[in-house]
Amino acid sequence: MEKLKKYVSVKDEDHFYHQGAVELLIFNFLLILTILTIWLFKTHRFRFLHETGGAMLYGLVMGLIIEYATKSSDVESGTVYECEKLKSGPSTLLINITNQVYEYQYKGQISHHNVNGHHGNAMLQKMTFDPSIFFNILLPPIIFHAGYSLKKRHFFRNLGSILTYAFLGTAISCLVIGLIMYGFVKAMVHIGQLKQWEFHFTDCLFFGSLMSATDPVTVLAIFHELHVDTDLYTLLFGESVLNDAVAIVLTHSISIYSPKENPNAFDAAAFFQSAGNFLGIFAGSFAMGSSYAVVTALISFMHLTKFTKLCEFPMLETGLFFLLSWSAFLSAEAAGLTGIVAVLFCGVTQAHYTYNNLSPDSKMRTKQLFEFMNFLAENVIFCYMGLALFTFQNHIFNPLFIFGAFVAVFVARASNIYPLSFLLNLGRKQKIPRNFQHMMMFSGLRGAIAFALAIRDTESQPKQMMFTTALLIVFFTVWVFGGGTTPMLTWLQIRVGVDPDEDLKAKAASQSASNLDKNTTKAESAWLFRIWYGFDHKYLKPILTHAGPPLTTTLPEWCNPVARLLTSPSAYGDPLKDGDTDYIINNDELTENYESSAHVAVPAQDSTGSIQATGKEDIQEGDLGLGGYKLQLQHTAGQPQMNSLA
């Protein structure tokens, strides 16, 4: 049984090739316009509209033009062929039409109510590209770049706070948005705007999790330009990077959470399954990402006798680095984990180990390559967001839902930042001041990740409503908050023009002077990081990089044959290469060597000048801390020196 309706369309192979070129050309044109605008803004020091806002604006205008200037080519679209004999949609469909066989490829399932939403404007359909492109092509370079360019010293100094904001904060934000939205949905059902069965509490939580991914790219760009206080920058950057990862995994876990019976009731089994899922996926992705980076580090470090070192071929080195990092993403995706999380930790690990092994040429090449890819991908995403407002065919604008979402997003941000800052300040030596908290509250922009998560599924009506709302929130926050960053900084009297290195010294000095009594009582809470740092420094760094002490000195004596095999010849040849190699510590001494005192908080390069040889990144790893505590290996006179101040 089949009902056929006529479907008019002109098509040939060549037409399709050209069509693809036209779409890409439109994007290129938008990007070129954006770049020219950035240039204009940079020369005139405009800060009221950031490049991302500009890209979005151009996208919007282009979307408007396409929507109204191009004519709908398929007159009778939205017709459905009914094939009741088929059980499911095949991946490829061969259709015989007037004795010619046409091949069709499965694209996706469509809800009945969306069928008429397809206007049949071929141009519009073409411009609305596959959401998987976001996740597989555009996001990975952005996230990798974030991990690769992480300023480790400042990041580790504030690690405790960053982890709190990222994990606890995102969970709070998700829950608060979910609850508020559930209230609004109930109200909407009450006044008859919505049917009860359409919107479950899990849907509200889903919306909460995707709206919890903050993306203060605009704010951070301005911070970077103005050299805003480093701690504030690091807190925001670290939070937003990790928070993306958390939000992505959280969204996935919530979408899996499916209580057996009543979808609105709480099902403990399903909840714990989702929670376990969250932890499993997060840990798995972390492991996948870091292991690829470790493999890269090992390959780039290899010093087999019959091989020229890889670093003599910068092109091969860069290629391998790029491909292995991308493979981390793809492997995680293929294994059902979260590629974005994997690629983030891959980036961090690459920067920590592999970067030290690369040739100077490759160091620059990889940095520039990922910087460039990040730049392009970011602008494409923001252009596309602008376009999507007009080219996406199934928008559902529900004023009450949108209003609710705005309220929810701000309340959630507030209940993330202020209570957590209060709690963190109880433990932090160097408090997060009020104006920093306000600035963090203000910087809760929503951007690429929220958009990408929302566009991933736009089949059902609740999801379409969410997508439309998410898009509007992105627009609003990027334009209003992004544009208001500079006035806000002035208004909150936040320091600008800060030199990161000077800043660290000054703060450490002032803080250790005023908090001498707390040093030893609080030092214990950093034990985890002390153990990790010791392990990393004594075993991982020597195995994976040319830096660090030779393994022969760090491993027990009976391991010497193995150690000698694994140690890079350069580790012996240049004992001063790493700042810490000139002094050997064993496990018992380790605790005494980690101290937070005014003396050691001065960056490592002041004591032994030779460590500059291993590059700036290496120096930055010299100190490592949790919250306000400085963990610093000392090496003043080649002898372990104990100066506990308590």
Residue 49 main-chain phi, psi, to 5 deg: -135, 120
Contact yes or no for 551/563 (Cβ under 8 A): yes
Indicate which single residue of 90, 419, 573, 609 sits in contact with a second copy (rule: CB under 8 A): 90
Which of the residues 251 through 280 are near a second copy (CB under 8 A)? Answer: none
Nearer to a second copy, 79 or 425 (CB): 79
Which residue in this structure is represented by tokens 């990081």? 529
Output the six-digit token pair for 18.
Answer: 């050209």
d(CA 74, CA 9) in angstroms, rounded, equals 6
Nearer to a second copy, 22 or 613 (CB): 22
- The CB-of-90 to a second copy minimum distance in angstroms stands at 4
Site map (CB under 8 A) of a second copy, residues 188-227, x = contact: ----------------------------------------
Q: Which stretch binds a second copy (CB under 8 A): 40-48, 234-242, 505-513, 607-615?
A: 40-48
Which of the residues 516 through 555 are near a second copy (CB under 8 A)? Answer: none
- The CB-of-433 to a second copy minimum distance in angstroms stands at 33
- The CB-of-48 to a second copy minimum distance in angstroms stands at 18
- The CB-of-111 to a second copy minimum distance in angstroms stands at 7
# residues near a second copy by CB under 8 A: 104
d(CA 43, CA 37) in angstroms, rounded, equals 10
Which of the residues 327 through 346 are near a second copy (CB under 8 A)? Answer: 327, 330-331, 333-334, 336, 339
Please tell me whether residue 588 binds a second copy under the rule CB under 8 A. Answer: no
Which of the residues 347 through 376 are near a second copy (CB under 8 A)? Answer: 365, 368-369, 371-372, 375-376
What is each CA distance from 362 to 268, 300, 319, 372, 377, in whole angstroms?
A: 51, 11, 10, 15, 22
Output the six-digit token pair for 387.
Answer: 């376009």
Nearer to a second copy, 457 or 618 (CB): 457
- The CB-of-209 to a second copy minimum distance in angstroms stands at 17
Nearer to a second copy, 104 or 397 (CB): 104
What is each CA distance from 187 to 110, 192, 209, in whole angstroms?
A: 28, 8, 21
Output the six-digit token pair for 623.
Answer: 């100190």
Which of the residues 295 through 314 are near a second copy (CB under 8 A)? Answer: 299, 306-308, 310, 313
Contact yes or no for 257/271 (Cβ under 8 A): yes
Indicate which single residue of 69, 94, 513, 528 sits in contact with a second copy (rule: CB under 8 A): 94
Nearer to a second copy, 43 or 493 (CB): 43
Please tell me whether residue 72 binds a second copy under the rule CB under 8 A. Answer: no
- The CB-of-357 to a second copy minimum distance in angstroms stands at 14
d(CA 589, CA 594) in angstroms, rounded, equals 9
Contact yes or no for 498/227 (Cβ under 8 A): yes
Indicate which single residue of 65, 75, 81, 491 sits in contact with a second copy (rule: CB under 8 A): 81
Q: Which stretch binds a second copy (CB under 8 A): 29-37, 179-187, 443-451, 522-530?
A: 29-37
Contact yes or no for 450/208 (Cβ under 8 A): no
Q: Which stretch binds a second copy (CB under 8 A): 6-14, 190-198, 507-515, 595-603?
A: 6-14
Which residue in this structure is represented by tokens 């995707």? 210
Cβ atoms within 10 Å, residue 139 = 23
Closest of 463, 340, 445, 452 to residue 385, by C-alpha? 452
Indicate which single residue of 61, 67, 74, 175 sits in contact with a second copy (rule: CB under 8 A): 74
- The CB-of-581 to a second copy minimum distance in angstroms stands at 29
Closest of 48, 50, 431, 449 to residue 232, by C-alpha? 431
Q: Which residues pair with residue 595 across a beta bridge?
A: 632
Please tell me whether residue 69 binds a second copy under the rule CB under 8 A. Answer: no
Helix (H) or strand (E) holding 439: helix 434-442
Indicate which single residue of 48, 70, 75, 80 sits in contact with a second copy (rule: CB under 8 A): 80
d(CA 546, CA 358) in angstroms, rounded, equals 10
Cβ atoms within 10 Å, residue 4 = 8
- The CB-of-443 to a second copy minimum distance in angstroms stands at 23
Indicate which single residue of 85, 268, 269, 588 sits in contact with a second copy (rule: CB under 8 A): 85
Contact yes or no for 554/584 (Cβ under 8 A): yes
- The CB-of-40 to a second copy minimum distance in angstroms stands at 8
Indicate which single residue of 68, 69, 71, 86 sits in contact with a second copy (rule: CB under 8 A): 86
Contacts of 351 (CB under 8 A, 6+ apart): 147, 148, 149, 150, 152, 617
Cβ atoms within 10 Å, residue 74 = 17
- Region at 307 (left for phi over 0; alpha for psi -120 to 50; beta for the rest): beta
Which of the residues 486 through 515 are near a second copy (CB under 8 A)? Answer: none
Please tell me whether residue 78 binds a second copy under the rule CB under 8 A. Answer: yes
- The CB-of-41 to a second copy minimum distance in angstroms stands at 11
Which of the residues 425 through 464 are near a second copy (CB under 8 A)? Answer: 457
Q: Which stretch binds a second copy (CB under 8 A): 92-100, 494-502, 514-522, 615-623?
A: 92-100
Nearer to a second copy, 81 or 527 (CB): 81
Helix (H) or strand (E) holding 454: helix 448-455
Q: Which residues pair with residue 624 across a beta bridge?
A: 631
Nearer to a second copy, 110 or 637 (CB): 110
Nearer to a second copy, 43 or 262 (CB): 43
- The CB-of-554 to a second copy minimum distance in angstroms stands at 30
Site map (CB under 8 A) of a second copy, residues 128-157, x = contact: ----x--xx---------------------
Residues in the chain: 646
- The CB-of-140 to a second copy minimum distance in angstroms stands at 11
Find the angle CA(105)-CA(106)-CA(108) to the nearest 5 degrees.
145
Burial class (CB in 10 A: 0-12, 13-18, 19+), 598: middle
- The CB-of-18 to a second copy minimum distance in angstroms stands at 6
Output the six-digit token pair for 459.
Answer: 């089949």
Nearer to a second copy, 128 or 568 (CB): 128
Q: What burial letters (b/e) apply to 272-288, b meaning 16+ CB within 10 Å? A: eebeebbeebbebbbeb
Which of the residues 601 through 630 are near a second copy (CB under 8 A)? Answer: none
